[in-house]
Amino acid sequence: MSQQNYDAIVIGGGHNGLVNACYLAKNGLKTLVLERRHLVGGAAITEELLPGYKFTTFSYALSLIRPDICEELNLPQHGMMTLPMPNDFHPGFNGDYLKFNGDAYEDYHEVARYSAEDAEALHDFRHLMNRVCYAMKPIMDSIPPNSRSDDPEELQRVADLHGYLEGLDDDIQELIHKLWRGSIAEVLDEYFESELLKGLMASSSIIGSMVGPRSPGSGLVWLFHKMGEYDGSFGSWGFHKGGNGGFTQVLAKALRSFGGEILLDAGVSEVLRQEGRTTGVRLTDGREFYAPTVVSALDPRNTFLKLVDPAELPADLVSHIEAYKFQGSASKVNFVLNDVPPYPGFEGNTEIFRGFTNVGPTLDYLQEAFEDAAAGRISRRPFIDACVQSTVDPDMTPPGKHIMSCFVMYTPYHLAESDWDTERETLGDIVQETLNEFFPGFHDIVEHREVVTPLDIERIVGISEGNIFHGELFADQMFMNRPAPGWNQYRTPIAGYYQCGSGTHPGGCVIGAPGKLAAQQILGDLVSAI
Amino acid sequence: MPKTTPFHPRLEALNRTKIWDNWAGYLTAPRYQYSDLSEYYAIRNSAGLLDTSPLFKYRFSGADATKFLMHAMARDIRKCRVGQAQYTTWCDDNGFVIEDGVIVRTTENDYLLTAAEPNLRYFRQINRKIGLADCQIDDVSADYGILALQGPHSLNILRGLTADAEKLRYFRSVQTEIGDKPVLLTRTGFTGDLGYELWIKAEDCLDVWDTLMAAGKDYNITPLGLHALKIARVEAGLLLLDVDFSSTRYAWVDAQRETPIELGWEWMFRGLHKDDRDFIGRVAIESEIANKTSRWKTVGLTVDWHHYQQLHREAGIMPPLDGVFHEGTMNIYRQSEIPWDYAGYATSLVYSSILRKHIAIAKLPLDLCEPGSQVSLEITIIRRSVNVLARVAEMPFFNPNRKTNLI
Ligand SMILES: Cc1cc2nc3c(=O)[nH]c(=O)nc-3n(C[C@H](O)[C@H](O)[C@H](O)COP(=O)(O)OP(=O)(O)OC[C@H]3O[C@@H](n4cnc5c(N)ncnc54)[C@H](O)[C@@H]3O)c2cc1C
């Protein structure tokens, strides 16, 4: 057996594993990333599945990536480039639509077509939302306190946190409280009357989550997504040049610049332990690599129940991880098109597709889609977040062609009456049919289609039950509870063994914070050990 | 009534905002769509098309044209061979800059120059004074429209239209045809990216515009307003007249004037000792270089990301990023014991989306010009002056290989 020594080994070359490794390597640790697949990126990859066509197989848009990480890892220097989304398009029924251009007053008049009060409320709401996100930002960007610790320092941090929240302006506190436990519909109903506008605004509340806009919990999913930013504007998104895989390639470059190494086709089967400490890892092919620090960038089920023997872990932790909810609910259908989708009155107009195209006109539509899933069925009329990145990034397709990424809700991992190998093309057909309903003639422009089911996400990326966030963004598995109370500070009961995947604070999305904060914890522990 | 350029019928239809600016007496669009950033990113990601026709255009021709330019221009025109272009400057007798511009040598005795200000009389006066027999200087401003096609896909667009684009190197020019219209194509631009400029006969302008827009359709070709260009040019470290410097012609006192060395163009005079030209300003420039008498230098500045965030957090507001675009004067202080210890000033401060930080062009005393030197830049947070940490940086801030590479 070959054997090599490192200061730190990171299991899994998803973006969080890469960010984590960058910080470790930048701080002088000899760091190795072990990735099971033939490419890094995990859920954030771009693949040329057909010659000349770049597919964002899974993840497709960027917002949550922490700005401090981009700065500290010099990502612009390594080619990071996020293209803005100047438009959003929200088709409704009977020729209704909302089309945003990014000009505050044009957007006002657009909403005012449906309700002048809503148009004004939108400004107020956005301002409040910005203040809420700015208030929450330091919480997202720091290691949460440990709620189970008796350490006076930790107790003080919990107290400080309460103090901080209580010190916030009343309107900010109030909205945070509502969003933390409630549904997005309650909040939106308070501000707006237009069903079309509410439908559009609710979309961020259900992404990747087994909740409808009227379910408690959708508020938090919504808030989480709004914490992203584009050039200092909360809730704004962009396309990374070359897709989200372009971004993870930038991370790989950054890692190499810090002296870190990446080994591909290197699936880890076990984390090696000796007397309660980790000593390294064993690969599925039997190779072993040694390091005093091992970081799992996989989800909590893999980290605690598969890579190590759960019998060696505290029973309380194991039962939390066993109960931790994955229940993947999203899938992707990616199309090659020979034109942009035809919307009556906008045929051939590429401009309206330069951002999100949001198929999910009203709260009712979204809630119905959810109810299908709650009964174990694919939504008969799904919510679709469609993106045609080729309208702004010509490197995605050959000239004259387009690629449309469709993120689809809801597609429950656990189907009541069938299985995903059987239903793959059913899903493709439902999505295509729905698109054809909103964009009559859509069928005629489809040249190719790739369907990615929750089971595919699990099999290919290795995320349990295909949950895009490595576990639901529900309050009882967030913050001090992510992934389990007492184990929310990136450590594990095994000394030297850490976790940094999306199943740790603050959570999923292409965000990098778990990777960075885990590195902060690891580096701090190493210093204290000296 | 402002004038319009030959492209105006197309521009007017494309300008969604219906807002126009005045550039040298011509209508020009600050932006065509609401998103400056989308126009900006066309330059860095796909391709942008910009009408720069309001520039003044001059032709120098005749057997003595080269001789004339050897005298009038500070940079040696003999280094600009036929089929090349040269970025140059012209100065007054005291070695102060009048203007800068790009000159193209189209044939042995024929040159085309663009300038931001009128210079016909200025150049003709010089010619009358030195009395060269065979040098014609003509204002050809109205004869041509100029388009800048800039961005990584600009070559892909041109490639389908002319075989001459492919092998055109940086700062080279070629006479070619676009859709059977004669065009002078140069690989130049003001964006710091891969890009080309096209001199088009006024009567052919609409046809060539249409041809380029059609060819660029699949490459996200985007009409560029001046605002997007101005962001790109700061990243490229390219100076703008009346923003980063003023012309000596309209200055009152030397404090308003700048020398080419102070503007960072010392590289234009690299071979000066081997160059026997008697050009305007030579004595002063030579002496400035030899005696190191420059009063300041023009440098790049990057604002410290963390400090900028921290200052705004302390004030309780979101740090403004996108939209920060300041052409004016912002004071710079030394980081010393003395409070408000004046050091210099910044002229252009922009948020660079691609670099994810604020960058500026600044004038600093020579002892602060080393890259990495730390200074305090005065910005305003909630209507109060605050000093933010900034560092001297090499310009260009953004400089992709494709700008100069053969693709
Ligand atoms: C379909 C889909 C669409 C999404 N869309 C967006 C979006 O548009 N924007 C956004 O911000 N977020 C989106 N997300 C969420 C986001 O992409 C993920 O939350 C994030 O990429 C997860 O990153 P990670 O590094 O934590 O883990 P992962 O990306 O899951 O990385 C884990 C890595 O570990 C590797 N691995 C697994 N097992 C082993 C093993 N035993 N040994 C070695 N390596 C192993 C995997 O191959 C993978 O590379 C989407 C996710 C999905 C699935």
**Could you report the per-residue pLDDT of B126-164, keeping only the tens digit for each?**
999 999 999 999 999 999 999 999 999 999 999 999 999
Nearest CA in chain A to B324: A231
CB of A18 within 6 A of ligand 1: the answer is: no
Does residue A457 lie in a domain region?
Answer: no
Query: Mean per-residue pLDDT for B331-347?
Result: 95
Q: Which pTM was predicted?
A: 0.97
Min distance A377 CA to chain B CA atoms (Å)? 40
Q: What are phi and psi of B321, to 5 degrees?
A: -115, -85
Do A372 and A391 share a domain, yes or no? yes
* Residue B189 pLDDT greater than 80, yes or no: yes
Contact predicate A524/A25, CB 8 Å: no
Do A91 and A232 share a domain, yes or no? yes
pLDDT in the model for residue B396: 98
Put simply, the answer to whether A230 touches B218 (Cβ < 8 Å) is no
Tokens of B285: 């420039």
Interchain CB contact of B18 with A (< 8 Å): no
Q: Which residues contact B310 (CB under 8 A, 6 or more apart)?
A: none
* Residue A299 pLDDT greater than 90, yes or no: yes
Atom of ligand 1 nearest to the CA of A331: 1
* Residue A102 pLDDT greater than 90, yes or no: no
Put simply, the answer to whether B38 touches A354 (Cβ < 8 Å) is yes
CATH architecture label of B8-48+142-224: 2-Layer Sandwich (3.30)
**Could you report the per-residue pLDDT of A113-160, keeping only the tens digit for each?**
999 999 999 999 999 999 999 999 999 999 999 999 999 999 999 999
Do A276 and A355 share a domain, yes or no? no
* Residue A4 pLDDT greater than 90, yes or no: no
**Could you report the per-residue pLDDT of A417-465, keeping only the tens digit for each?**
999 999 999 999 999 999 999 999 999 999 999 999 999 999 999 999 9
CB of A58 within 6 A of ligand 1: the answer is: yes
**What ipTM describes this predicted complex?**
0.95
Interchain CB contact of B219 with A (< 8 Å): yes
Instruction: Kindly report the average pLDDT of chain A as a whole number.
Output: 97
Q: How far apart are CA B180 and CA B158, in angstroms?
A: 13
pLDDT in the model for residue B100: 98
* Residue A3 pLDDT greater than 90, yes or no: no
Interchain CB contact of A80 with B (< 8 Å): yes
pLDDT in the model for residue B397: 98
Find tokens 């707006």 and name the residue: A192
pLDDT in the model for residue A5: 92
Interchain CB contact of B33 with A (< 8 Å): yes
Element (H, E) at B110: strand B110-115
**Partners of A28 in beta bridges:** none
- To which CATH superfamily is domain B56-139+259-293 assigned? Aminomethyltransferase beta-barrel domains (3.30.70.1400)
Of the candidates B285, B289, B267, B265, the one whose C-alpha atom is nearest the C-alpha of residue B277 is B285
Q: What is the CATH number of the domain that holds A300?
A: 3.50.50.60
* Residue B323 pLDDT greater than 90, yes or no: no
Does residue A460 lie in a domain region?
Answer: no
Q: Which residues contact A109 (CB under 8 A, 6 or more apart)?
A: A119
Secondary structure (H, E, C), A410-435: CCCCCCCCCCHHHHHHHHHHHHHHHH
Question: Which domain-ending residue is among A202, A236, A270?
Answer: A236
Min distance B32 CA to chain A CA atoms (Å)? 12
Do A90 and A204 share a domain, yes or no? yes
pLDDT in the model for residue A529: 87
pLDDT in the model for residue B150: 98
Choose the CATH number for B297-393 among 3.30.70.1050, 3.30.420.40, 1.10.10.60, 2.40.30.110.
2.40.30.110
Range of the domain at A28: 3-43+67-76+243-325+470-529
Interchain CB contact of B20 with A (< 8 Å): no
Tokens of B293: 């008498």
**Could you report the per-residue pLDDT of B214-250, keeping only the tens digit for each?**
999 999 999 999 999 999 999 999 999 999 999 999 9
Cβ atoms within 10 Å of B328's Cβ, excluding its own: 10
- What confidence category does residue A523 fall into, taking pLDDT thresholds of 50, 70 and 90? very high
Q: Which chain B residues have a beta carbon less than 8 Å from that of A349?
A: none
Q: Parse chain B into domains and list their residue ranges.
A: 8-48+142-224, 56-139+259-293, 297-393
Question: Which domain-ending residue is among A204, A236, A268?
Answer: A236
Do A117 and A205 share a domain, yes or no? yes
Do A169 and A193 share a domain, yes or no? yes
Partner residue facing A130 (CB), from B156, B306, B318: B318
CB of A243 within 6 A of ligand 1: the answer is: no
Tokens of B201: 């006969």
Report CA dihedral (B321, B325, B328, B330) to the nearest 10 degrees.
10
Question: Which domain-ending residue is among A426, A452, A478?
Answer: A452
Does residue A366 lie in a domain region?
Answer: yes
**Could you report the per-residue pLDDT of B244-261, keeping only the tens digit for each?**
999 999 999 999 999 999
Residue among A23, A35, A59 to mutate when testing ligand 1 (max atoms within 8 A of CB): A59
Domains: count for chain A: 3
pLDDT in the model for residue B45: 98
CA of A35 from ligand 1 middle (Å) equals 12
Cβ atoms within 10 Å of A347's Cβ, excluding its own: 12
Partner residue facing B45 (CB), from A71, A83, A230: A83
Query: Mean per-residue pLDDT for A202-218?
Result: 98
Query: Mean per-residue pLDDT for A103-116?
Result: 95
Do A204 and A217 share a domain, yes or no? yes
Tokens of A288: 């072993």
Tokens of A147: 């709620």
Long-range pairs of A308-313 with CB within 8 A, sequence gap ≥ 24: A308/A270, A308/A271, A308/A273, A308/A492, A308/A494, A308/A497, A312/A273, A312/A493, A312/A494, A313/A492, A313/A493, A313/A494
Q: Which of residues 109-168 of B touch A (CB under 8 A)?
A: 153, 156
Find tokens 């960007």 and name the residue: A141
Q: Which residues contact A105 (CB under 8 A, 6 or more apart)?
A: none
**Could you report the per-residue pLDDT of A478-500, keeping only the tens digit for each?**
999 999 999 999 999 999 999 99
**Could you report the per-residue pLDDT of B250-304, keeping only the tens digit for each?**
999 999 999 999 999 999 999 899 999 999 999 999 999 999 999 999 999 999 9
**Could you report the per-residue pLDDT of A240-274, keeping only the tens digit for each?**
999 999 999 999 999 999 999 999 999 999 999 99
Put simply, the answer to whether B34 touches A400 (Cβ < 8 Å) is no
Query: Mean per-residue pLDDT for A53-65?
Result: 98
Do A343 and A378 share a domain, yes or no? yes
* Residue A1 pLDDT greater than 60, yes or no: no
Does residue A57 lie in a domain region?
Answer: no
Long-range pairs of B256-261 with CB within 8 A, sequence gap ≥ 24: B257/B94, B257/B96, B257/B97, B258/B96, B258/B97, B258/B298, B259/B91, B259/B95, B259/B96, B259/B97, B259/B284, B259/B285, B259/B288, B259/B294, B260/B74, B260/B89, B260/B91, B260/B95, B260/B97, B260/B285, B261/B285, B261/B288, B261/B289, B261/B294
Does residue A117 lie in a domain region?
Answer: yes
Residue whose CA is at the smallest distance from ligand 1 atom 53:
A468
Atom of ligand 1 nearest to the CA of A19: 25
Do A126 and A26 share a domain, yes or no? no
pLDDT in the model for residue B1: 83
